[in-house]
Amino acid sequence: MNPKLRDVAEHAGVSVRTVSNVVNDFRYVAPSTRERVQASIDALGYRPNMAARTLRRGRTGLVALVVPEIDSPYYAELAARTVRIAEARGLTVLIDQTDGDAERETQLLHGKRSQLVDGVLFSPWAVAPAELAARTDTVPLVLLGEHDGPAGVDHVVIDNVAAAHEATAHLLARGRRRIAAMGIQPWSLNATARQRLAGYRTALAGAGLPADPDLEVPVRHLHRADGHEAMLRLLDSPRPPDAVFCFTDELALGALRAAADRGVAVPGSLALVGFDDVEDGRFSVPALTTVSPDKSRIAELALDLLTDRTVAPRPPRSVIAPHRLVVRETS
């Protein structure tokens, strides 16, 4: 049988109201009394009725993080940082995976699970901007990542155009001239690839180099296997590149393996730059040059926007998180 507030009160020799004040972290409780009550709570194994507390407070203390792929190194690292930062703020994070499926993303966008949480951090791949704008669920939502068109919701992004420009300019500064861009997804509603392609093209144009369609490489997914396959095609082409800007580190790690399979020296004959700064890239041989989004800052900004919106209504905000180019051995 689960102990009740009255059992704790009798054990501690205080009133039920005093126990309730301790359980609800009411600040005007004497430290000695709080210690005595907490000792009784621990001794009896009392657990608060979370459903009742939720009804009284109107909040659950739960936040949903919705990502396409939890086994993606980038999203795994972002999730880990979000959980730690949320925990320091007294929040618990529930993680949901969509696999980039439009139907599942739409269900979550329009309120599935929302009765359980105080807010949602959402990184969609498949829903259209119009679907985002038509959202009717009132639970606070913060978008993570890049999406075309006004969504009418809070949004944390990085400047993908500037980041891709920096990555490509770095390769140009190393004397590379046949620079491929790997990661184009023309069928995707997510704007990330389009923005990174735009930054790549702008850097080439600034160096007086025309865009070459043969060097703009589409991939079905953003995984290592896709990078490996795409890199093999590039290396087997009549005029292979001397550098590749990969839109994710996973693609770059696959490309690095393909270069090894073909006996192509990196960075001697082929330079590589990735994007995401995942841990694997720091331990690859050679170590991967990459664009590093500040994942901790992304999590902080997203949680700031979410908790801020639970306090008072305000117009939607779009916040840019910082990034930097980390130069390692592949370039």
For 106-154, how does the pLDDT look when each residue is reduced to its tens digit (9 = 90+)?
888 777 665 678 889 999 888 877 777 777 777 888 999 876 655 578 8
Where is average pLDDT lowest: 110-124, 181-195, 256-270? 110-124
3-state secondary structure of 246: strand
User: Mean per-residue pLDDT for 73-85?
Assistant: 96
Mean pLDDT of the chain: 89
DSSP letter (8 states) at residue 147: B
| Cβ-based neighbours of 199, under 8 Å, separated by 6 or more | 160, 161, 162, 163, 164, 165, 166, 167, 168
User: Is 115 or 274 the better-scoring residue by pLDDT?
Assistant: 274
User: Is 311 or 245 the better-scoring residue by pLDDT?
Assistant: 245
User: Mean per-residue pLDDT for 298-303?
Assistant: 95
Spatial distance between the Cα atoms of 186 and 179, rounded to a whole number of angstroms = 20
Q: For residue 58, is pLDDT > 70?
A: no
**Spatial CA neighbour of 213 closest among 250, 184, 190:** 184
The pLDDT of residue 148: 61
The pLDDT of residue 49: 57
Q: For residue 103, is pLDDT > 80?
A: yes
Q: For residue 52, is pLDDT > 70?
A: no
Task: State how far the alpha carbon of 231 is from the alpha carbons of 27, 109, 167, in Å.
Answer: 61, 36, 18
The pLDDT of residue 163: 97
Contact 43, 7 (CB under 8 A): no
**Spatial CA neighbour of 217 closest among 207, 206, 228, 204:** 228
User: Mean per-residue pLDDT for 314-322?
Assistant: 90
Q: For residue 259, is pLDDT > 80?
A: yes
User: Mean per-residue pLDDT for 268-276?
Assistant: 98
Q: For residue 83, is pLDDT > 90?
A: yes
Share of the chain above pLDDT 70, in %: 91
| 3-state class percentages of the chain: helix first, strand second, coil last, to nearest 5 | 45, 20, 35
Where is average pLDDT lowest: 34-43, 105-114, 137-146, 222-231? 105-114
Share of the chain above pLDDT 90, in %: 61
pTM of the model: 0.81
DSSP letter (8 states) at residue 330: T
The pLDDT of residue 55: 41
Q: For residue 156, is pLDDT > 60?
A: yes
The pLDDT of residue 41: 87
Which stretch of DSSP H or E encloses residue 243?
Answer: strand 243-246
Spatial distance between the Cα atoms of 199 and 260, rounded to a whole number of angstroms = 28
The pLDDT of residue 211: 92
Q: How would residue 54 be classed by pLDDT, with cut points 50, 70 and 90? A: very low
